[in-house]
Chains A and B, each alone.
Chain A
């Protein structure tokens, strides 16, 4: 079964402001994107499980026009707060890379 790292063209994380983290998975083939979307694997529940938040804290948006999925949820700590490990939030994507996609 392919993983996100095998078939996506972008898999990344970044701050969306100092208090939220946003992760994106982008495909370059609209047909593949539609098939991934149809599996229902990528959704708020997956993000909640991978990042230890509750599903209702996840804003999950498939973006058909860009063949992309975006999820936004609270950071562990605000950017730069004492104890924060990733001020830019750009190295929080790894748990997504190995997600299996049954396409």
Chain B
């Protein structure tokens, strides 16, 4: 095959895309359509809780259109990092939706589910065998951290996708995957070299994000032996050398060395050439295979339970002494919450001050600005939800009613936009595993299950 055409519908399954863009993409006779199903970006909660960060309604809508298009055209539909985080509950959620849509639409296909949540004993054995090393300056992984984790996923490369394609699956739903992996698999299967395959994958994983205006929409990428052509399917968008160059920097530590399972994509000598006013050709990428095949592990553990309250002040006398005021509230809370058994070691209390440093915290360089209003998120993370909510109640009441020198607003210090003012947010998770695992076989921790839908 001299070229492969791949159609990505959006940045994430559930972000939406115009139907007309999908139709325009299908008219270009792609060899495969797909979409990235998730990201680590929304933070640790979704992996821990087993829930998607897009709504079921939004995922169902996108998946229905994609299934109809792919099955109608007789081409594969491939989704990586299903359900947002690619754990087992996430994968099962999307698989359930696929079965439901197939029944409603009378669609029939062979489906592969690629699992990415290896058993804890398996991980512990690999850890003991010295196959795991840390990333991003973290300490070495310890068995207790593995044991304590709420969920740990492995991030697969293209090989499990390739295996599922060779196994005859038309619809492939995978757990946690390297974002480019499904697209790389399609290219490798067609006999294209890894360098343009990985580059194409990096463009396709975000849908039409590498175009202007940026938006969640469809992107068609054509891959040949030594280059990659990108073109958005919506006529209102254009890929330009700048938009593509900008996207090549996306979410990666280095703009030139992209470490992936099985090797490194080197983009130092890439060229970005406009093919038209809306399509761009990228060439000059290189691929260096790794000595050792590795996959990333991502895991989270529970950090407590959160309750929050949103409020604001428009009082210049209070704004002028807000730091002292908050310190006083902290003391009152410690005393009053301690009196009902919520002693300080059972919770963390934070006052996020928007209008001062709510966005950048200690890294905020503007320290002497005087805003006319300040917004607060009062936050308590407690060892139980009950503790969090009880401590928050005391903090909120005292933010509202505590006197300060020179106070004129004697009826209350805070404007609350909502009743109830306090929200129970639920379990809080933190990233505890961010390591790489060496594998002898790239598929060995990613079992594939086939079913006829």
List chain A positions with a Cβ less than 8 A from chain B.
9-10, 14-20, 22, 24, 26, 28, 50-52, 59, 61, 63, 65-68, 70, 72, 74, 76, 78-88, 91-92, 94-95
- B72: CB under 8 A from chain A? no
| A88-B41 in contact (CB<8A) | yes
CA of A94 to CA of B268, assembled, Å: 27
- B106: CB under 8 A from chain A? no
CA of A67 to CA of B246, assembled, Å: 9
CA of A26 to CA of B284, assembled, Å: 20
B426: chain A residues at CB < 8 Å are: none
Given A17-B434, A65-B268, A78-B430: A22 in contact with B360 (beta carbons within 8 A) = no
* Distance from A62 Cβ to chain B, minimum over Cβ atoms (Å): 9
| B242-A82 in contact (CB<8A) | no
- B109: CB under 8 A from chain A? no
- Residue count of chain B within 8 Å CB distance of chain A: 47
B255: chain A residues at CB < 8 Å are: 24, 61, 63, 66, 68, 70
* Distance from A37 Cβ to chain B, minimum over Cβ atoms (Å): 14
* Distance from A63 Cβ to chain B, minimum over Cβ atoms (Å): 4
| A95-B365 in contact (CB<8A) | yes
CA of A83 to CA of B269, assembled, Å: 40
Q: Which residue of A lies closest to B40 (CB)?
A: A18
Could you list some 21 contacts between A and B, CB below 8 A? A19-B137, A22-B249, A24-B255, A26-B246, A28-B242, A63-B249, A66-B272, A76-B363, A78-B430, A78-B431, A79-B40, A79-B44, A80-B45, A80-B431, A81-B430, A81-B431, A82-B428, A85-B358, A86-B359, A86-B360, A87-B42
| A17-B360 in contact (CB<8A) | no
A92: chain B residues at CB < 8 Å are: 359-360, 363
B104: chain A residues at CB < 8 Å are: none
B254: chain A residues at CB < 8 Å are: 59, 61, 70, 72
Partner of B43, one of A20, A65, A79: A79
A87: chain B residues at CB < 8 Å are: 41-43
| B253-A16 in contact (CB<8A) | yes
Task: Return the 7 tightest CB-CB contacts between A and B, nearest first.
Answer: A80-B43, A66-B245, A19-B136, A63-B255, A72-B253, A87-B43, A80-B44
CA of A63 to CA of B255, assembled, Å: 7
Those of B126-148 within 8 Å (CB) of chain A: 135-138
B246: chain A residues at CB < 8 Å are: 9-10, 24, 26, 66, 68
